[in-house]
């Protein structure tokens, strides 16, 4: 899953693809590099990021989705927790909703996904991006993440969303400490109890920088380690900035871990 942030303030590539024409160019480039999905986001959800109102998010996202819908041969995902943005993006040609709140921030989101027949990613978080890093302590982090995601799957089921359309994401970097993120990565296989494919979003994140002492633009190899481990531990989708490099990492790790495939 290639990351396309059409924002001025994302933690890694803020403002790089804020211009719609540059965003379209980057999406096509990521497809050529081996992306299977393009994930378009119009609101930064980095720690302590202020919220963006729906009208502004729509202005950022919808024109890019419209421009890409007829040009990409792979699905478009919209990274939003707002039902109105999700519906507009889906109407413009997106096929997947990537909701960082696991259907908990907007009561209309589950119905929107069900009505449109979209794919869905439900992610674990604790609090909003503005506040999530103020509370990173857990009793058993993986158990709590699994319980939260189980509740998200129940919300989806109650709304009529087909289970096979849903993917779970443990929310690396969202309301977690460095140690918490590492613990989740050690125990990815436990998420299999949810019965759904697992998405990991570790790309360039701060915990990698803290472990290695690297700035955001120096975290390629740290990210690669998390992707390779994730493949070996059973994760299915990897949300990344550096598509070409991580495609090779994932394919090589898969060849080693799953020789029968």
What are 35's two structure tokens?
């992306």
Place of tokens 């960082």: 100
d(CA 174, CA 157): 24
Complete edge-to-edge strand list for the sheet that includes strand 2-5: 2-5, 38-41, 76-79, 96-99, 119-123, 166-169
Q: Are 194 and 153 in contact (CB under 8 A)?
A: yes
To the nearest 10°, report the CA torsion of 3, 28, 219, 183.
40
Cite the DSSP H helix spans in 117-177.
141-159
- b/e string for 152-169 if b means 16 or more Cβ within 10 A? bbebbeebebeeebbbbb
* 3-state secondary structure (DSSP) of residue 173: coil
Q: For the purposes of burial, counting CB atoms within 10 Å of the CB of 177, is it exposed (0-12), middle (13-18) or buried (19 or more)?
A: middle
Q: How far is CA 49 from CA 118, 150, 207, in A?
A: 27, 27, 17
Residues with active-site annotation: 205, 239
């Amino acid at each position: 899953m290639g990351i396309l942030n059409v924002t001025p303030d994302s933690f890694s590539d803020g403002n790089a693809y804020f211009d719609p024409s540059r965003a379209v160019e980057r999406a096509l480039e990521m497809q050529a590099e081996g992306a299977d999905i393009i994930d378009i986001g119009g609101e930064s959800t980095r720690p302590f990021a202020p919220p963006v109102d729906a009208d502004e998010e729509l202005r950022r996202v919808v024109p890019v989705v419209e421009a890409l819908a007829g040009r990409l041969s792979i699905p478009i995902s919209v990274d939003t927790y707002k039902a109105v943005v999700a519906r507009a993006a889906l109407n413009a040609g997106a096929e997947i909703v990537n909701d960082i709140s696991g259907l908990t921030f907007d009561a209309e989101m589950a119905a929107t996904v069900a009505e449109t027949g979209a794919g869905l990613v439900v992610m674990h978080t604790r609090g909003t991006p503005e506040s999530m890093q103020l509370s990173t302590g857990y009793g058993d982090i993986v158990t709590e993440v699994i319980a939260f995601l189980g509740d998200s799957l129940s919300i989806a089921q109650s709304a009529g969303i087909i289970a096979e359309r849903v993917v779970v994401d443990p929310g690396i970097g969202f309301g977690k400490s460095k140690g918490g993120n590492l613990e989740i990565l050690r125990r990815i296989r436990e998420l299999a109890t949810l019965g759904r494919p697992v998405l990991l979003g570790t790309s360039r994140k701060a915990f990698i920088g803290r472990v290695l002492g690297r700035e955001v633009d120096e975290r390629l190899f740290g990210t690669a380690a998390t992707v390779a481990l994730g493949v070996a531990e059973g994760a299915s989708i990897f949300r990344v900035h550096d598509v070409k490099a991580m495609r090779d990492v994932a394919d090589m790790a898969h060849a080693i871990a799953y020789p029968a495939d």
